Structure 1
Amino acid sequence: MRDTSNTSNTRTAAKRASSRSSRLSIVLALSASALLSVLGPAHAAPARDPLPVDIPDYQAALEAVKSTAVRDAVCRFLRTPLPTGAAGTDGPVQTIPEMAEPCQGLPTFTIKDPLALNEITPGFVAGTARPLPTEAIKLTQLVSSLSTTVNGRTATVMLAPTQGGGWHLAAVRDGDSDASYAGMAAVGTLVFTEPQIRGWYQLKLNTVEPLNDHARQGLNGQASVSLADYQQLVKARYADKLPGSEYDTNGYSSGSGTQRDADGTPASTPLLAGGFGAALALAGGAFVLRRRRRAHTG
């Protein structure tokens, strides 16, 4: 005769275990749901980690590049023929006329979200700052490119920090290379420029890697160097070209001094020097289009 009591006890134990398992699953599910509700969207994992150099007042920067005033400035820039000038010299300064509807008749475009434009710091170049990312690199401006070419041209909107907070239009520049390189920043890396030679680099922890030919030349052809070794390279190149030096007062400095107008008076907003691109500058409250002087390395 079969022992039905043992079979019954086994079945009862199994039911109890199943019941406990179900209750545990429910509790875990409710706990996870409650945790997500507490954390909310603000604590969800971002699509990408923030850059080591934070962008302050980023909402103000977004509002600036989406504003009608900035869009009109871009349209005026795109409607004005680029000035001509010999390489390495200043071309003629053109005043851009006022237009009632500067964007009328132009192809539809949008201005992308702004990106950080980081540069090496004067202290890092002088050797007074330590070769650490927080002391070697600083945020100087924001750059935004266009969503598409307009009549065969591209442009970059450059924002400068406003005293007291926020951002304002500093210039509209021909081309989109600045925004393209700035957009190469990925999780755990920092992209920065050495504007004097138009070199773009990527910093991974404490290693500097070139992103373009100018940067490769700046590293003497090396595939990578330590941040400390890179500091020695730029110190040798620019230690005698810092603000107040003859190099700076002659207008070759990148971002350390102010862009000067044709009569020698400082413009209201500094521009990045280097390359041959034309820029729509805010000089004395008026838009002027100039082909910028090529930056030299010595």
Structure 2
Amino acid sequence: MRKNTRRALTATTSLAAGAGVSLGLFLGTGSAHAADLSVPAPKAPAATDLAQAAHAAGTAQAREMAGRFFVHLDQRARHLPVDQAARADITAQAAAKSPEAAGDAVPVYSLSADFVTGKTGSAPAQVAYLAVKSVSADGRQATARVEPQQHGYAVVGMAQGTDELAYAAKAKDGYAFTEPQLNAWYRVSGQQVLPLNESARQSVGEHGTTLTAYQHLVHQRYADKLPGSVYQKSHKYGGVTPATGTVSLADTTPRALLAGGGGAVAAGAGALLITLVTRRRDTTA
């Protein structure tokens, strides 16, 4: 598998999987078939869900999380050791960041397991989470990852930059989605899958490909690595799921952590710091 060049979020539960359910992007059954696929668009979240997600990103708890995240970015820039950074009292620094949620919640679509396995009538992607921009007092931007919880929506993680929002804005007449194991971003227009970044161009070519051809491509890449596969049973990372990247602050090469069960939810400032990874900026069309 190629190393993932995206930066980590701090949780991997899925909107599509429902409240309290771990993200299982590649959970699915079925088999690929040679005939052209009838490919619908992914189901979009309701307006009420988007409104609740935007509200959740602006709560005091979410702003505190964002403030700590921005401080951790500063610590990383200073190459502060992980253990020292995790022990530091950053409460006052986090409050000084005065982060605010900005703009609407945007659905982030990611490759669907049913599409990988060729299940009839499956969309290429599904909603993985909702994204809301967060801006600190000094102008630094991040993306809040918002997901449904037992009692409404909550921010479960932060990520540096606003790549998800930038790619979604490039959807034009279709929708954008990611193939997370490659950090590839695509735009679906009609029956075409078009690349939005360099990883996607390496995947499907400069001019893209058809949805049917793309389905065959991802089937070859992932169908034998789903949970329950020989790949998983041989203890090779537990099967392919869109988990976070987990690296030390000294590691400058972000990569995917392939883990069964949707990966682990990071808890506390120390864990947030450890799972922070800065990805290569790549929002070229």
| Match status 1:119 vs 2:110 | yes
Out of 150, 155, 174, the position equivalent to 1:169 is 155
| Match status 1:242 vs 2:226 | yes
Change (3 A) 1:169 1:73: same
Q: How far 1:121 sits from its partner (Å)?
A: 0.9
Out of 145, 153, 157, the position equivalent to 2:144 is 157
Kept after mapping to 2: 8 A contact 1:242/1:248: no
Structure 1: 5+ residue runs without aligned partners? Answer: 1-50, 85-90, 263-272, 276-280
Q: Residue 146 of structure 1 aligns with which residue?
A: 134
> TM-score with structure 1 length normalisation?
0.60
Change (3 A) 1:293 1:104: closer
Change (3 A) 1:96 1:140: farther
Matched residues in 2 for 1:109 and 1:157: separation? 11
- Superposed CA RMSD in Å reads 3.7
Kept after mapping to 2: 8 A contact 1:117/1:143: yes
Q: Residue 78 of structure 1 aligns with which residue?
A: 70
| Match status 1:208 vs 2:193 | yes
Q: Which has the higher contact order (CA 8 A, sep 6+)?
A: 2
Q: Residue 226 of structure 1 aligns with which residue?
A: 210
> TM-score with structure 2 length normalisation?
0.62
Change (3 A) 1:261 1:210: closer
Task: State percent identity of aligned pairs.
Answer: 27
Kept after mapping to 2: 8 A contact 1:201/1:211: yes
Kept after mapping to 1: 8 A contact 2:54/2:132: no
SS at match of 2:97: coil
| Match status 1:199 vs 2:165 | no
Change (3 A) 1:158 1:224: same
SS at match of 1:135: coil
Q: Would you say how many aligned residue pairs link Structure 1 and Structure 2?
A: 216
Matched residues in 1 for 2:43 and 2:69: separation? 30
Structure 2: 5+ residue runs without aligned partners? Answer: 1-40, 249-254, 258-263, 280-285
Matched residues in 2 for 1:98 and 1:74: separation? 15
Matched residues in 2 for 1:99 and 1:83: separation? 14
Matched residues in 2 for 1:209 and 1:63: separation? 33
Q: Residue 181 of structure 1 aligns with which residue?
A: 167
Matched residues in 1 for 2:100 and 2:267: separation? 28
Matched residues in 1 for 2:58 and 2:200: separation? 32
SS at match of 1:185: coil
Q: How far 1:143 sits from its partner (Å)?
A: 1.3
Kept after mapping to 1: 8 A contact 2:146/2:153: yes
Q: How far 1:292 sits from its partner (Å)?
A: 4.8
1:160-187 CA distances to partner (integer Å, 9 max, x unpaired)?
Answer: 2325x7322121112221221123233x
Matched residues in 1 for 2:146 and 2:156: separation? 5
